[in-house]
Amino acid sequence: MSLLGTLARMEAVRDGRAVPLATVRHRHLADRPMVLVPLAAAGEAGAPLAVMLGQDRESPVLLSLPQPLDRDRRFALLADLAAELLPWLEGYGDQVELLTKEVKDPATGEKTEQVRELCTDAPQLLVPGPAAVEFLGLLGRSTRFRRTAEDPDPGPYPAPARVPLLGRWLTQLRDRAQVPGSSLLLAMTDLLGRHWATGQSRLEDQHLGALLGWIAPPAGLTGAEAALRAETARDDRGQLLCPPAGPTTDPRFDSGLLAPAITRYDAARQLGDAVAAQAREADIAALLETVLRPTWERMWQGVDLLRALPAAAHLPERWEGDRWSYTSHRDRIAAGEPPQPVRDDAVTAARKLAQREREQTRLDIQEALDDPLAMAEHRLSGEAMAGVVVEVEPAYDTTGRTPKPRPLVTLRTDDRPHGDAGRELYRAGGPAAQKAELVSADPASGLVTVRLLNGMGRKKEPEPGSVPEPGEQVCFTLFELTARQSAPLPEPEDTPWTHGGPPAARAGTVPADPVEGA
Amino acid sequence: MNNVTPGPPGLTPSPLERRLAGLRGDAPQRSLDARALAALAANPGCGRRAVLDAAGVDKADLATRLGNPAPFGQSPFAISRGLGFERKVKADGCTVLLDLLRKELRLPEDSAPVEFAELVGDPKLPAGRVASARAALAAAAARPGVWTVLDQPLLRLEVAGSAAHLEPDLVVVRPDGRWTVVEIKSFPILDGGADAAKVGAAARQAAVYVLALRETAAELAGVEPSRDPYQEPGGLAGSPDSTALLVCPKDFGNQPAAAAVDVRKPMAVTRRQLDRLTGVEQLLDPLPPDAGFGQDRSDGQLTAAVGALAAVYSPDCLSACELGFHCRAEARCAGSVETLGRGVRGELGSFATIDRALAAAAAPPQGAAAPGQDDGDAESALRLSRAAALRAEALGGAALGGDR
């Protein structure tokens, strides 16, 4: 955590409620996001217990299992989930815009135009926390290799037809969620934690109820009291007033309410009493709804809080990256490609890593440009400076045939840029990209002089507006304002032997026994 | 047999052991379980936990009586699945398990007979259980060329001058005479990998078992136990293998898969931390002689006794220590900056409380060091007030410091 973040947390302690950590919203928020709250069955990896989902706050869909160990029912639940999610996921694939790109044929050097489709919008899925993101990844991993009755060799336990496809989408969403700044699949605690600082630690912020307790404490309570109540308060049956946001349930819920209800259901089934079993099943669904509802309401409360923030300027640019990600996955499925492998080959892994690093850099830069509070982090660390121009002195570079404008700009600032004279600077928030160099910095008087190096046109006198005027607020950074492209990586087929050579046929990477233990 | 003061029969308890037993009162001694070990690793500097663990006080019960019950618990579904898996691993005379052991430890194929050691299982007789496990190990050592499986033997380890009891899932004596600790866990090995945090916890647990086995082996061989986990003594004393076998369900099913885990590093870490616990006598000094944590104490006495022991709270404690919520409440009352995160203290220099740090942030930045402040203070104060100014500027001057 940075010093500014710590300071904000201390202010939150003093004020008894969360304080802003951003002046704008740094993540894309869809008009109608899909909210999904999963619950997992304890003890087994990737075993669903219930899911509450929907795009409409008033009418969530509840899918639940009366007996989480029953694998037929589990696949029925996943089939229901696929029926809910797939039409929504695939629906965004219909609206496309056509983009043309000039590509150079590597062999002939001839330029040809290539037309690519880009979906105009993409789905956005919101879950309570990072654990839910991981859980969706596990669901994806456990279902995407399943064989269905439609396969030529369905095996002993075929899965419902659309379940493996759902697994591929979930895998894709979870994979994309690893990319910094991406917004296809977002965790609410991360979202809120990016925009508000609470008076507790980041670890405790993982509790959605406690986090919201700090951000919007109920009347008469401080943030700390509201958070503590969310964490520990129990009703007279010993159940938490604020059930965990999942995917794991409270062990005391499991032992006190869920286990007896499941026992009753099993007993009714053993007696062959279909009516009673159905009633018991409805009981379990109602029980699960009581622990899902509070989280569902909190998810939407979080959406409301985030919507109240103005959107950052770079959101459409980053959302376009998400749209590309969505479009390419749509194309891979349409092309009949096999599911994502368990392990990426060397080149794909390197590409993903390079992409995540690049996106992290880009995100840091864009957040700093969009949000003075994010820029303040860089100013505090000496990576940027902002101030008011006090003097502009025309100066020229006369080494060439014609003199070029190289004006000296002096600004008053308390910032102390960490750089020697001659250090390259980049102007943030200017009319266009502009480079400068540090000439002198005098911390005692608070004056910093820089020399503008470009972006002033080709004439002897700078283009109007390209040089800041005295009295104008300006900001320079010591870091570049665009993320650098990494060196190109080879195609997977050209993987060098040092990295294991070209991967084996993709079908071979699917484990031979993905249905083991069924 | 005496289960209040466990230890080798015939040995009178040391004054320290008596003192620790007195702290515990009439409650039975708690053994060092997985959570205690995890807490040990997560926060070795905490004196409060060190004393309570050394005395074997039931911290979960203590937390409840202090009004901040520990939020830990295990779902009955997780328990039953864990037990089911354990049964599956041990089924058919451990055939599956021994196959996994041969495969993961790269042992040659053999047709040695498999024997199951007869162990005292009565939980009320810890000393008898320890002795029977010891005898079984000695018997197995005297008879090489046979697989001997010890199912949940009770081991003894000296911790802070008193005996801690440990119960590994399985200890297998191999035909080549080496002893391997087997840990059965219910988290999955997914695509050949498992949750690093859980594997780490399992490795720490196994490391303590190997340490205890080494002490037993050294005792049987009649030599001093080796303090260095990286150095394996020869002969019988070197029989405990420092590679443990971790058995988990494979992928999403219930089939066992295993991995060999080298626990020498966690052994070294745990050894060092256990040795530090022997300084528990000094930690006891601030405690009034009549203090105690027994059932007979009133809430006020308990709070005072716990409060007399200095805690080192960090938010990680919440997931590792039963007293986490109590220590957090205490730290919040004191306004300590550690409640905000582990690294915060380092960032704020000498400002230990939130009030002081905020006061420094609100002070005008150009102010010279106040009397009584050292340079480090002045530097942190300067950075804080600079940060506050930047934050106020970014938020439009509205948020902070109406007095500026």
Q: Which long-range contacts (CB under 8 A, 24 or more apart) does A74-77 make?
A: A74/A47, A74/A48, A75/A159, A75/A160, A75/A163, A76/A160, A77/A48, A77/A51
Residue-wise over A159-186: b if at least 16 C-beta within 10 A, else e? Answer: bbebbbbbbbbbbbbbbbbebbbbbbbb
Distance, in Å, from the CA atom of B344 to the CA atom of A232, rounded to the nearest integer, reads 25
Phi-psi region of B191 (alpha: psi -120 to 50; beta: other; left: phi over 0): left
Distance, in Å, from the CA atom of A454 to the CA atom of A426, rounded to the nearest integer, reads 10
Please give the residue range of the domain that contains residue B303. Answer: 15-72+286-333
Could you tell me if B206 and B160 lie in one domain?
A: yes
Could you tell me if B103 and B63 lie in one domain?
A: no
Give the model confidence (pLDDT) of A299-325 as tens digits: 999 999 999 999 999 999 999 999 999
Phi, psi of B256 (to 5 degrees): -75, 140
Supply the pLDDT for residue B347.
84
Supply the pLDDT for residue B23.
84
For β-strands A384-393 and A435-442, DSSP reports them as: unpaired
Which residue's structure tokens are 């809430």? B299
Distance, in Å, from the CA atom of B165 to the CA atom of B154, rounded to the nearest integer, reads 7
Q: Which residues of B touch A367 (CB under 8 A)?
A: none
Give the model confidence (pLDDT) of B39-75 as tens digits: 676 677 888 888 888 788 888 889 988 888 888 888 8
Chain-centroid distance, C-alpha B143: 34
Give the closest residue to B246 by CA, choosing from B191, B189, B197: B189
Q: What residue of B is the nearest CA neighbor of A370?
A: B394
Can you name the residues that pair with B347 across neighbouring β-strands? none
Question: What does each C-alpha distance from A500 to A347, A486, A494 come to in angstroms?
Answer: 10, 22, 11
Candidates B77, B337, B358, partner chain A, best to mutate (most A CBs within 10 A): B77
Supply the pLDDT for residue A267.
94
Interface contact flag, B190 A13, Cβ < 8 Å: no
Supply the pLDDT for residue B37.
67
Give the closest residue to A88 by CA, choosing from A49, A64, A117, A61: A61
Which residue's structure tokens are 């994309």? A176
Distance, in Å, from the CA atom of A441 to the CA atom of A436, rounded to the nearest integer, reads 14
- Statement: residue B398 has pLDDT above 50: no
Q: Which residues of A touch B342 (CB under 8 A)?
A: 201
Residue type, A324: W
Distance, in Å, from the CA atom of A82 to the CA atom of A168, rounded to the nearest integer, reads 11
Could you tell me if B90 and B24 lie in one domain?
A: no
Contact A167/A89 with Cβ under 8 angstroms? no
Q: What residue of B is the nearest CA neighbor of A43?
A: B78
Calculate how close chain A gets to B151, using CA atoms only, in Å: 23
Q: Tell me how long chain A is.
A: 518
Could you tell me if B217 and B350 lie in one domain?
A: no
> Taking the alpha carbons of A26, A53, A130, A183 in that order, is the dihedral positive or negative?
negative
Interface contact flag, A14 B358, Cβ < 8 Å: yes
How sure is the predictor about B33, in pLDDT bands with cuts at 50, 70 and 90? low
Which residue's structure tokens are 């993101």? A133
Q: Which residues of A touch B196 (CB under 8 A)?
A: none
Q: What is the pTM of this model?
A: 0.90
The ipTM is 0.87
Supply the pLDDT for residue A432.
83
Q: Where are the beta strands (DSSP E) in A147-284?
A: 185-187, 196-197
Could you tell me if B257 and B154 lie in one domain?
A: yes
Residue type, B37: L
Interface contact flag, B340 A23, Cβ < 8 Å: no
Supply the pLDDT for residue B366.
54
- Statement: residue B368 has pLDDT above 70: no
More confident residue, A53 or B293: A53
Residue-wise over B181-219: b if at least 16 C-beta within 10 A, else e? Answer: bbbbbbbbbbeeebbeeebebbbbbbbbbbbbbbbbbbb
| Chain A / chain B CB contacts < 8 angstroms | 157
Supply the pLDDT for residue A318.
95
Which of B315, B319, B387 minimises the CB distance to A4?
B387
Supply the pLDDT for residue B365.
59
Could you tell me if B257 and B110 lie in one domain?
A: yes
How sure is the predictor about B7, in pLDDT bands with cuts at 50, 70 and 90? very low
- Statement: residue B9 has pLDDT above 70: no
Q: What residue of B is the nearest CA neighbor of A379?
A: B390
Phi, psi of A343 (to 5 degrees): -125, 140
Ranking A53-57, A101-105, B197-201 by mean pLDDT, the lowest is: A101-105
Supply the pLDDT for residue A1.
64
CATH hierarchy code of domain A369-477:
2.40.30
Can you name the residues that pair with B258 across neighbouring β-strands? B247
* Per-residue tokens: A119: 């979906």
Candidates A3, A144, A380, partner chain B, best to mutate (most B CBs within 10 A): A3
Q: Which residues of A touch B366 (CB under 8 A)?
A: none
* Per-residue tokens: A181: 């700044």
Which of B81, B361, B365 minimises the CB distance to A44?
B81
Could you count the other beta carbons within 10 Å of the beta carbon of residue B31?
Answer: 19
Could you tell me if B326 and B374 lie in one domain?
A: no
Could you count the other beta carbons within 10 Å of the beta carbon of residue B13?
Answer: 18
Q: What number is the average pLDDT over the span B344-367?
A: 82
Could you tell me if B222 and B252 lie in one domain?
A: yes
Q: Collapsing DSSP states into helix, strand and coil, what is residue A65?
A: coil
Give the closest residue to A367 by CA, choosing from A312, A317, A429, A431: A312
Q: Which residues of A touch B340 (CB under 8 A)?
A: 1, 6, 9-10, 13, 199-201
Interface contact flag, A380 B254, Cβ < 8 Å: no
More confident residue, B358 or A509: B358
Residue type, B404: R
Q: Tell me how long chain B is.
A: 404
Q: DSSP alpha helices (H): ranges in B154-277?
A: 196-221, 264-277
Distance, in Å, from the CA atom of A52 to the CA atom of A81, rounded to the nearest integer, reads 10
Could you tell me if B166 and B314 lie in one domain?
A: no
Could you tell me if B229 and B81 lie in one domain?
A: yes
Could you tell me if B100 and B226 lie in one domain?
A: yes
Q: What residue of A is the nearest CA neighbor of B340?
A: A201
Ranking A121-130, A189-198, A300-309, A431-440 by mean pLDDT, the lowest is: A431-440
Which residue's structure tokens are 């930690």? B283
Helix (H) / strand (E) element for A82: namely helix A71-91
DSSP designation for A159? B
- Which residues are within 8 A (CB) of B387 and not within 5 positions of it... i.e. 6 or more apart? A3, A4, A7, A376, A380, B361
Edge-to-edge order in the sheet of strand B243-249: B114-116, B147-151, B170-173, B179-184, B243-249, B256-262
Contact A434/A466 with Cβ under 8 angstroms? yes
Distance, in Å, from the CA atom of B156 to the CA atom of B166, rounded to the nearest integer, reads 6
Count of the separate structural domains present in chain B: 3
Where are chain A's structural domains? 3-99+120-340, 369-477
Supply the pLDDT for residue B403.
33
Phi, psi of A40 (to 5 degrees): -110, 150
- Statement: residue B204 has pLDDT above 80: yes
Interface contact flag, B347 A259, Cβ < 8 Å: no
Supply the pLDDT for residue A361.
94
Interface contact flag, A251 B73, Cβ < 8 Å: yes
Q: What residue of A is the nearest CA neighbor of B316?
A: A203
Distance, in Å, from the CA atom of B56 to the CA atom of B47, rounded to the nearest integer, reads 14
Interface contact flag, B318 A203, Cβ < 8 Å: yes
More confident residue, A326 or B8: A326
Phi-psi region of B341 (alpha: psi -120 to 50; beta: other; left: phi over 0): left
Distance, in Å, from the CA atom of B131 to the CA atom of B136, rounded to the nearest integer, reads 9
Q: What residue of B is the nearest CA neighbor of A386?
A: B390
Give the model confidence (pLDDT) of A243-301 as tens digits: 999 799 999 999 999 999 999 999 999 998 899 999 999 999 999 999 999 999 999 99
Q: What residue of A is the nearest CA neighbor of B331?
A: A200
Distance, in Å, from the CA atom of A67 to the CA atom of B80, rounded to the nearest integer, reads 14
Distance, in Å, from the CA atom of B141 to the CA atom of B150, rounded to the nearest integer, reads 13
Q: Assess if residue B403 is contained within a domain.
A: no
Q: What number is the average pLDDT over the span B271-278?
A: 74
Q: Collapsing DSSP states into helix, strand and coil, what is residue B34?
A: helix
Supply the pLDDT for residue A516.
35
Give the model confidence (pLDDT) of A115-145 as tens digits: 899 999 999 999 999 999 999 999 999 999 9
- Statement: residue B373 has pLDDT above 70: no
Supply the pLDDT for residue A505.
59
Helix (H) / strand (E) element for A71: namely helix A71-91
Q: Assess if residue B194 is contained within a domain.
A: yes
Q: Which residues of B touch A4 (CB under 8 A)?
A: 387, 390-391
Candidates B64, B66, B81, B252, partner chain A, best to mutate (most A CBs within 10 A): B252
Supply the pLDDT for residue A202.
93
Average pLDDT of chain B to the nearest whole number = 82
Question: What does each C-alpha distance from A108 to A105, A113, A491, A510, B310 come to in angstroms?
Answer: 6, 14, 20, 38, 76
Distance, in Å, from the CA atom of B153 to the CA atom of B174, rounded to the nearest integer, reads 16
Q: Where are the beta strands (DSSP E) in B121-264?
A: 147-151, 155-159, 162-166, 170-173, 179-184, 243-249, 256-262
Distance, in Å, from the CA atom of B239 to the CA atom of B179, rounded to the nearest integer, reads 6
Q: What number is the average pLDDT over the span A488-514?
A: 68
Average pLDDT of chain A to the nearest whole number = 90
Supply the pLDDT for residue B55.
81
Contact A384/B393 with Cβ under 8 angstroms? no
Supply the pLDDT for residue A425.
94
Distance, in Å, from the CA atom of A176 to the CA atom of A153, rounded to the nearest integer, reads 31
Interface contact flag, B394 A45, Cβ < 8 Å: no
Candidates A14, A44, A249, partner chain B, best to mutate (most B CBs within 10 A): A44
- Statement: residue A44 has pLDDT above 60: yes
Can you name the residues that pair with B151 across neighbouring β-strands? B170
Could you tell me if B215 and B248 lie in one domain?
A: yes
Q: DSSP alpha helices (H): ranges in A233-345?
A: 251-253, 259-270, 274-307, 315-334
Contact A227/A213 with Cβ under 8 angstroms? yes
Distance, in Å, from the CA atom of A309 to the CA atom of A286, rounded to the nearest integer, reads 35
How sure is the predictor about A360, in pLDDT bands with cuts at 50, 70 and 90? very high
For β-strands B170-173 and A447-452, DSSP reports them as: unpaired
